[in-house]
Amino acid sequence: MLGLDKKDTTLLIIVALLTLLAPFLLNPFPSDSAMAQFNAGYPDLMQRFVIFGIFAVGFNILFGLTGYLSFGHAAFLGIGSYSAVWMFKLFSYNVIPAIALSVIMAGLFSLLIGFISLRRSGIYFSILTLAFAQMSFALAYSVLSNPKFNLTNGETGLQVYADDPQMFHRDGLPDLPHLFGLSMRSTYTLDMGAWSFDFNAGYYLCAVIMMIVFYLAIRIFRSPFGMMLRAVKSNQQRMNYTGLNSRPYTLAAFVISGMYAGLAGGLMAAMDPLAGAERMQWTASGEVVLMTILGGTGTLIGPVLGAGFIKYFENIFSKINDSVLHGWFAFLPDGMEDFVVAVLHPFVGKGWHLTLGILFMLVVIFLPGGLVEGGTRLRNWFRGKRSGADDKPSGKTEPAE
């Protein structure tokens, strides 16, 4: 189907089902239960899952296939956001032109930065990309916020105001980002007993776009171009000795990856028409590296899983405070309750990074292939257990190959 083999088609269908059914899958607990704290099926968080999934899938095209580790991809995320907001300010709130401009601008900037950075490899390449990202952050935060040519609005962030031109904005259309009149904040809530499910227009726009770019990522991975990128990762020097110039391939991968990041930035602005310099900080670049490694570098679905995992911890575990913990352990004697809360306190709330760091270390140590490797081991274990129960032992031995 769509030029994919059976395995890739199955993977695409799984991603589509997980994405489209997310409002149900992410709300497993009743709304009025104590465990509702762990529900993640509200529009803003679901949008973040998908948008950062796109960001991580694009980063994986560069890092997972070529082995070039960029510490500056947040620059393209920020450029995409600023481009989308400027489209809203000058023309209209329609998200399609804004997203298109985000991808184009991020592609142009990544072409420039990649052309310079890819003259080096290894740690030198990583440092160059980090330097470009920090320069972009400094420009957005201070230089380009100069009143004479205020392009970024500095630390306040760029946003849309009532006196902006918006040349193609018509009366009757929402004064918020919309898709041909359908507001991105439009949400339908379905109440089913003790459960409540939100179906948000903005989320489903992001979901459809993610399925499209995920399909494109599969085609890139399986194409001759993808094989050339794997050759670069395997042994670039040997590849060059054969007479093949690897730079056009790595530059193309860098630009494609940057365009994915710009798309993610444009979608962030489409969901909330605001762009700030903090999206270009080195921490945002490091976050996408963690997402990719945690999910599984070089795998297709791994970065999506890693993005969801980290964003879940960031938004769910960070909201668990002492009062929530006391509510959970109120059945214990007072002294025991206080002791348990004191033990768990450093790992939740503001200390959620500690929990994430421990889990990340465990994954790197015991699952070098990320969450995808963990899923593969579980699948093989169940298959082995099932075949072991079905097959009868025989007295014959097979020679070693």
B/e letters for 193-207, b = 16+ CB within 10 Å, e = fewer, are eebbbbbbbbbbbbb
Q: Which two tokens stand for residue 312?
A: 């879940």
**Are residues 114 and 254 in contact, defined by beta-carbon separation less than 8 angstroms?**
yes
Q: Domain total for the chain?
A: 1
Residue 165 lies in a domain: yes
| 384 belongs to a structural domain | no
Domain that holds residue 172: 6-281
Between CA 91 and CA 169 the distance in angstroms is: 7
Is 171 contained in some domain?
yes
Residue written as tokens 């909330």? 272
Beta bridge mates, 195: 192
Phi-psi region of 193 (alpha: psi -120 to 50; beta: other; left: phi over 0): left
Q: What is the CATH number of the domain that holds 14?
A: 1.10.3470
Contact predicate 121/68, CB 8 Å: yes
pTM: 0.92
CA distance 188 to 93: 21
Ramachandran area for residue 63 (φ above 0: left; ψ -120 to 50: alpha; else beta): alpha
> Is residue 372 included in any domain, yes or no?
no
Q: Is 310 part of any domain?
A: no
359 assigned to some structural domain: no
In a domain, 288, yes or no: no
Q: In angstroms, rounded to a whole number, what is the distance separating the alpha carbons of residues 131 and 178? A: 36
Give pLDDT, residue 397: 46
pLDDT by 10s per residue, the chain, length 401:
678 889 999 999 999 999 999 999 999 999 888 788 888 988 999 999 999 999 999 999 999 999 999 999 999 999 999 999 999 999 999 999 999 999 999 999 999 999 999 999 889 999 999 999 999 999 999 888 877 778 898 888 899 988 888 888 887 788 899 999 999 999 999 998 889 999 999 999 999 999 999 999 999 999 999 999 999 999 888 888 888 889 999 999 999 999 999 999 999 999 999 999 988 988 889 999 999 999 999 999 999 999 999 999 888 888 888 888 888 888 888 889 999 999 998 888 888 889 888 988 998 899 888 999 988 888 888 888 776 655 554 444 444 33
Nearest to 75, CA basis, from 261, 331, 299: 261
The pLDDT score that the predictor gives to residue 400 is 36
Which residue in 38, 67, 110 sits closest to 264, CA to CA?
A: 110
The pLDDT score that the predictor gives to residue 3 is 81
Give me the pLDDT at residue 360, please.
87
Rounded Cα distance, 310 and 291, in Å: 7
Through-space distance between the first and last CA atoms of the chain, rounded to whole angstroms? 37
- 373: in domain: no
Residue by residue, DSSP assigns 198-244 as EEEHHHHHHHHHHHHHHHHHHHHHHSHHHHHHHHHHHHHHHHHHTT-
